[in-house]
Amino acid sequence: MHLSKYRFSGDEKFDIKEFDTSETGKYSAKEELISLTDENLKLMEELQDKLYSEAKSGVLIIFQAMDAAGKDSAVKHVFSGLNPQGVNVYNFKSPSVEELRHDYLWRAEKNMPERGKIVIFNRSYYEDVLIAKVHKLYENQKLPDRCIENNIDKRYKQIRNYEEYLWENGITVVKFFLNVSKDEQSQRLLSRIDDKSKNWKFSKDDLHEREYWEEYLKAYEMAVNETATKQCPWYVIPADKKWYARALISEIITQTLNDIDPKIPELSPEAVKELAIYRKSLI
């Protein structure tokens, strides 16, 4: 799969209105990608074992999207084969009173991956330049006046610096924006109403946020363009077809782990000799 067209690393501007949310590349049906996706899931499992045993690098995977874009199902499907001991998933909802009393990166920082682990953020600190930008939530926070002026622009810079800090400390950051169309979102929200097994997923807040669709498009476009870097790129995923989105995500994560190139630790000659002694004692 050609991934370069979905990758934004700061060299080329992302134009959200020119992006085809229903694209499926050269594939026309889900069946054509099943074997590729399954192969990627097996490779991810093998690479995760090496990452975990080497305990040298950590991986932070961020999912951002409009409501009903498929974040939850992507996490469930793409990471289904990984060892749960080496993966943590955090959902970022409205900040608590305690979290609001700290800087906005605090709740993310305390959940960063240990070396050897993969951490998945279902939404993230990017909410502070998305929903906070659209609804100007920062104006209601108890902050000094000097923090309010150009607040979002400052946060773009802070996020770039923070992700560079993570990179320089052994954490690879992979950011996905699942880009879904308004029409497709409508169909998925309708299914949550019409299908009793999905009623629990529906929230009237989703309808409220749809009223700000254009504002959110601008906010996502700006967030990608302002925070995409070579070390911490954004991947913009066409999300109208879930099967294609999942295949892309699995391919990108597999390549990311391959680039990290984790290896099973090798024992020293002395440790190997000790193993031989221990083996004899067990026979």
Any residues with CB less than 8 A from the CB of 210 and at least 6 apart, and which?
A: 67, 182, 185
pLDDT of 7: 97
| Residue 54: predicted pLDDT | 97
Among 148, 173, 169, smallest CA distance to 159 is for 173
**CA-CA distance, 58 to 166, in Å (whole number)?**
9
pTM for the structure as a whole: 0.94
What integer pLDDT is reported at residue 32 of this predicted model? 86
Phi, then psi, of 43 in degrees rounded to 5: -65, -40
Give the tens place of pLDDT for each residue, 207-225. Answer: 999 999 999 999 999 999 9
CA distances from 237 to 44, 171, 179 (A): 19, 22, 6
Q: Read out DSSP for 45-95?
A: HHHHHHHHHH---EEEEEEEESTTSSHHHHHHHHTTTS-GGGEEEEE--SP
Residues 48, 81: Cα–Cα separation, whole Å: 10
Query: Residue ranges of the chain with pLDDT lower than 50?
Result: none
Partners of residue 64 on adjacent β-strands: 177
Question: 88 with 29: CB under 8 angstroms?
Answer: no
What was the pLDDT predicted at 142? 81
